[in-house]
Amino acid sequence: MNIKRLILEGENVSLDFKKTISSAEKIAKTLVAFANNRGGKLLIGVADDKTIKGVKSEDEEKYMITKAAHVFCKPALEPKFEEIIVDHKVILVVHIAKSDTKPHYALDENNKWWVYFRVKDKSVLASKIIIDVLKQSNKEIGQLISYSDDERKLLTYLGEHGRITLKEFSKLTRCSFKKAQKIIVSLILADILIPNTSEKEEYFTAVN
């Protein structure tokens, strides 16, 4: 593993930097977000600006991560650790595998369990659509899509506008939110749509 090259690439959907672990609850969100997406690596001892700080105590960091994975994640996760020396400093690499028992939940400070998902370089709260996708993705069944008028309208709309929200799709097809949601979930599972989350809304784009 070329750790310097990895750091230069910056944080992304499967890579996150942490200077140190200060809270098991907070880091649990990142762990479940990785497990709910494609897996990922957490580099401890690296600041957000890519500066290599190193860890002071590998054992303490491992304890915090293991506590987060076992106590604050449901189902529990099993992180794997790797210590790499860069410029005479120790970076702790935490490997989180893509899970086949999705969705995983993280416990917050109010004792509530929430599902998180990795979008670009952020761990975001998963919408109901994403949670449905995660649940159905465990079933190992190929998605058979038969295009009805609703699917055709959606793809035509995307060809013209580039993106669509659940509300827009429901209005476009004059179908209920529940039916619109079901169609969007099936298209995400079939790798036809991609979910996107901004601070304001969730929207969907076509796979290129």
Look at residue 131 in the predicted model and tell me its pLDDT.
95
- Tell me the pairing of strands 113-119 and 122-125: antiparallel
pLDDT at 144: 55
pLDDT, tens only, 108-126: 989 999 999 998 899 999 9
Residue ranges of domains in the chain, CATH in brackets = 3-125 (3.30.950.30), 135-206 (1.10.10.10)
Q: Does residue 95 or residue 136 have the better pLDDT?
A: 95
pLDDT over 70 at 42, yes or no: yes
Position 72 scores a pLDDT of 98
Give 144's contacts (C-beta < 8 A, 6+ positions apart): none
Q: Stretch 159-177: mean pLDDT, rounded?
A: 96
How many angstroms separate the CA atoms of 88 and 97, rounded?
A: 28
Phi-psi region of 172 (alpha: psi -120 to 50; beta: other; left: phi over 0): alpha
Residue matched to tokens 């999705």: 102
Q: Over range 155-167, report the average pLDDT.
A: 96
Query: What's the whole-number average pLDDT of the chain?
Result: 93
Q: What is the mean pLDDT of residues 3-25?
A: 95
pLDDT in tens, 122-142: 999 999 999 999 998 877 555
Three-state SS string over the chain comes to CCHHHHHHHCCECCEEEECCCCCHHHHHHHHHHHHHCCCEEEEECECCCCCECCCCCHHHHHHHHHHHHHHCEECCCCCEEEEEEECCEEEEEEEECCCCCCCCEEECCCCCEEEEEEECCEEEECCHHHHHHHHHHCCCCCCCCCCCHHHHHHHHHHHHHCCECHHHHHHHHCCCHHHHHHHHHHHHHCCCEEEEECCCCEEEEECC
Do residues 74 and 107 make contact, with C-beta atoms less than 8 angstroms apart? yes
Cβ atoms 102, 35 nearer than 8 A: yes
Contact in structure between 96 and 35 (CB atoms under 8 Å) = yes
Distance between alpha carbon 60 and the CA centroid of its chain, in Å?
26
Q: What is the mean pLDDT of residues 164-192?
A: 93
Look-up of token digits 């058979």: 144
pLDDT band at 199 (very low <50, low <70, confident <90, very high): confident
pLDDT at residue 27 tops 90 = yes
Q: Is the pLDDT of residue 146 over 80?
A: no
The predicted structure's pLDDT at residue 138: 78
